[in-house]
Structure 1
Amino acid sequence: MTNPVTEPDAPIARELATGKFTDDMLESMRALIGTNLRTAASINNEYATRTAILRFCEGIGDDNPLWTDTDYAEATPHGRLIAPPSFIFACLAGIQVGWPGLGGFHCETTIDFHAPIGVGDRIDCRCEFQGFDGPIEQSQFGGRRIKDYILQQYTNQDGALVADFICSRMRFERGEMQKRAETRTITVPHPWTDEEVAAIEAEVLKEAPRGATPRYWEDVAIGDEIDVITKGPLGLTDFIAFIAGGAAPIPRVAAHSVSLRRYHKHPKWAFRDPRTHALEPVYSVHYNDYAAGLQGAQIAYDVGIQRTSWQIHSLTNWMGDTGRLKRITGQYRSHVYLSDVVRLGARVDGKEIDAAGDAVLRLTTWAQNQRGQNVMPGTAIIALPRRGPA
């Protein structure tokens, strides 16, 4: 029996939907607070297979052998291949809920990591809409806006909690964002010289994880900075590789009849590109310049959790196989555009034995672009091994 394509509930426009905040919308969203959200359309990997972990690592540019080399990983204290902490995004990156017709940016991330994900683990995710702040009547960025919160809890096949992820998004009226686009105008793509590109690529090729040599808590001093890693100049394949690695989008990208039926059922999930006449998902702002412009950006830009994955890459490279990332936070400020370069680093601002008895470092993290902007200020807590008896 065939599944005919029906007419969409509303026409699919050649632009992204331009909804407005209304009292009814705000009341309907308040009524959703505490709701457990459906996740089926957004799950990418239920199992942490060797291939799934490898694909994700390739998508974020992290070739640490602890997650990519089975023989190496089995000889470490972990005893098996494990996934980078950011692999939770490859299981389920996030959920969209409500706010019909409004634009949205992932603006802030807070994650507490409780247990590693090892090869063969099965990961489940529970998502809860926790509410929102606002609306703030005016903001420099895009006029009237709100900030909402979704809690995502990841558990493994034994019911053990792997991570808590609070995903905060800013919601705004696209028309207002578009009006302010000129105030954010910069030169893109960035006009790199051949010499500059060669120097950047040399930086990238020097990166290496600390690996099996322990970094001991006693050997780290307040004020120490971690090794910087470099991402860029960012190309379209870098953005597509992140999707191919299973870390996005929300809901999943699909093609042909599968996507067409979805868009007819949910017309505001898509727009018609006037150049190709094809329907594209709202998520294509991350690889389609036309869509990015409708969102008030100049050209395609990165994904928030992609930036966080780079942050985690910098931290795990530095801490070594015996370190443990316990917590990260990050705020996404300014777009990271195609052609940009981002350098990620951190400084140790505190040392203590925490309530769990772990010897931890508290770090301030950053992600600096070539324009001198910190596009992701954040924090991290890392537990390190101690020398001799604790």
Structure 2
Amino acid sequence: MTQTHQAEGQAGNDDVREYDHAIKDEDIERAKLLLGLDAPASIDEHHQVCTVDTIRQFAIGYGDDNPLYTDPDYAAGTRWGGPIAPPMIHTSLSRRMLGDPIPDDIRKATKGLFSGVHIFVSGQDTEWYKPVRPGDVLYGFGGLESIEVKNSEYAGRSVIRVRRVVRINQRAEIVAIERTILIATERKKSRERGKYMNIEPASYTDEQIAEIDEIYANEGPRGAEPRWFEDVEVGEPLPKMVKGPLTLTDMICFHAGGYGFGPYGIGSARVGYKNRMKKPKFYIKNAAGIPDVAQRLHWENEWAQAIGNPMAYDYGVMRECWLTHYLTDWMGDDGWLLRQHDEMRKFNYIGDTQFITGEVVGKRVENGNGVVDIEFRATSQRGEVTAPATATVALPSRELGPVVLPEPDEELKRKAVAFMARHNELARRGK
């Protein structure tokens, strides 16, 4: 599966391309060869070294003005002693990790897996362990964690793969672990091309914009006032947040904040030309005969319509940033987002508005912290839940004390140290 397909799948789980190939038994068996094999991530993202500006620009790029991320003087007075990055920073901050690739025989045996089969990203599970601070560099390693085959009358056979990526800093500390769920299906032509074309672009009256503005006016981060674990009740609703109406300006700001979609990327003039020479299949001619990036379906209606959508739509990762924003606003400076599971169920088109709502559904003590479980979701102006999610947040406690950051599995910590040592060895040798 190419990252182009991943990008389309992340925007909604209804990729509109037609795939005529059935899932082959041999592909399933070949995919199993990758189980448990970790390899270094060879991607340079837009940002390679975290700075105060990196943090601020990334946060503002998805609409987050929390002073913990945007005001270094304010952040210096928090428990963190300075700025820390928003949870999803690893989507735009990463440097290529040197290391040993998977064995050549396995690489050759698994080339072209599930070619021609409908594949989409259905969701992601992320766990966070350490804050990312100015001066930090992130690297990654990972691979296929699990594979499962399912059969259904509607979708035929499907293969569910979970790909794990471990994000570490230059000190070999595990910062986050993300698990992306990839689904290959045999839906073939059971979904007609262009089934969404009857969706009309959203439009708004002055009164409706005023209602949205009122939500914006009442939003804001909890900030320095602790949200005590003891004060939170099961069933308690979280305040409503709004994102939208989605505009092309929002897409530009998201890219300006650092989302670069490496290694494909987007570049201007000679940079774009060189990228096109490296990734020619990623460039598709527009109506004027000009080769342009396939991902322009996120800002060019004409190209989105050419592949069966009524208009351009967002990135799934943009909504993931919105969902974490909802939680970090609520939990305050002293809280810590432990984990989040999210799914991209519907497209979020240009002009759409997403209303994020949620409630506390559980409360307990976990690893010495007071933690709460939250169910929340993004719902469009059409009343459709586009992105359901769950999360666990650690809160400061009058009885238990400040939040203690979680510790990863010891075996995984040792693996992180080994990968970083190998990277440093190869870097010294100029590999």
TM-score by length of 1: 0.84
Q: Distance in 2 between matches of 1:257 and 1:27?
A: 43
3-state SS of paired residue (1:205) = helix
Conservation of the 8 A alpha-carbon contact between 2:363 and 2:373? yes
Matched with 1:370 is 381
Q: Distance in 2 between matches of 1:241 and 1:332?
A: 21
1:22: how far off?
Answer: 5.6
Q: Distance in 1 between matches of 2:123 and 2:303?
A: 22
Matched with 1:190 is 202
Q: Distance in 1 between matches of 2:300 and 2:370?
A: 45
1:158: how far off?
Answer: 1.8
Which residue identity does 2:60 align to in structure 1? E
Q: Distance in 1 between matches of 2:259 and 2:48?
A: 12
Matched with 1:385 is 396
Which residue identity does 2:135 align to in structure 1? G
3-state SS of paired residue (2:397) = coil
Q: Distance in 2 between matches of 1:57 and 1:70?
A: 13
Q: Distance in 2 between matches of 1:57 and 1:231?
A: 14
1:260: how far off?
Answer: 4.0
- The change in CA–CA distance for 1:65 and 1:291 in structure 2 (over 3 A counts) is same
Matched with 2:309 is 297
- The change in CA–CA distance for 1:18 and 1:170 in structure 2 (over 3 A counts) is same
- The change in CA–CA distance for 1:389 and 1:288 in structure 2 (over 3 A counts) is closer
Which of 343, 361, 366 pairs up with 2:355? 343
Q: Distance in 1 between matches of 2:277 and 2:187?
A: 22
Which of 224, 248, 251 pairs up with 1:236? 248
Per-residue CA deviations over 1:58-84 (Å, capped at 9, x if unaligned) read 111001000110000001111011111
Matched with 1:75 is 77
1:113 aligns with 2:128: yes
Q: Distance in 2 between matches of 1:139 and 1:263?
A: 39
- The change in CA–CA distance for 1:280 and 1:32 in structure 2 (over 3 A counts) is farther
Per-residue CA deviations over 1:229-259 (Å, capped at 9, x if unaligned) read 1000000111222122222414222344444
3-state SS of paired residue (2:281) = helix
3-state SS of paired residue (1:91) = coil
Matched with 1:51 is 53
Q: Distance in 2 between matches of 1:196 and 1:76?
A: 38
Matched with 1:268 is 281
Say which is worse superposed, 249-258 or 83-92, in terms of deviation: 249-258
Alignment of 1:18-57 (within 5 A): 20-21=21-22, 23=24, 26=28, 28-36=30-38, 39-57=41-59
Conservation of the 8 A alpha-carbon contact between 1:289 and 1:299? yes
- The change in CA–CA distance for 1:260 and 1:280 in structure 2 (over 3 A counts) is same
Q: Cα RMSD over matched residues?
A: 2.9
Q: Distance in 1 between matches of 2:271 and 2:116?
A: 22
1:169 aligns with 2:176: no
- The change in CA–CA distance for 1:170 and 1:329 in structure 2 (over 3 A counts) is same
Q: Distance in 2 between matches of 1:200 and 1:381?
A: 28
Matched with 2:173 is 160
Matched with 2:236 is 224
Per-residue CA deviations over 1:160-214 (Å, capped at 9, x if unaligned) read 11111001234468974872432x4453311222221232123223311110001
- The change in CA–CA distance for 1:105 and 1:301 in structure 2 (over 3 A counts) is farther
Say which is worse superposed, 290-299 or 49-58, in terms of deviation: 290-299
Q: Distance in 2 between matches of 1:99 and 1:42?
A: 26
Say which is worse superposed, 64-73 or 148-157, in terms of deviation: 148-157
Once the two structures are aligned, what percentage of the paired residues are identical?
Answer: 30
- The change in CA–CA distance for 1:248 and 1:167 in structure 2 (over 3 A counts) is farther
Q: Distance in 1 between matches of 2:289 and 2:224?
A: 53
Per-residue CA deviations over 1:124-155 (Å, capped at 9, x if unaligned) read 11131335444757757xx8754432211111
Q: Distance in 2 between matches of 1:18 and 1:271?
A: 19
- The change in CA–CA distance for 1:74 and 1:165 in structure 2 (over 3 A counts) is same
1:90 aligns with 2:92: yes
Which residue identity does 1:319 align to in structure 2? M
1:122 aligns with 2:137: yes
Instruction: List runs of 5+ in structure 2 lacking aligned partners.
Output: 1-15, 96-111, 402-431
- The change in CA–CA distance for 1:318 and 1:55 in structure 2 (over 3 A counts) is same
Alignment coverage as a number of residue pairs: 368
Which residue identity does 2:221 align to in structure 1? P
1:329: how far off?
Answer: 0.5
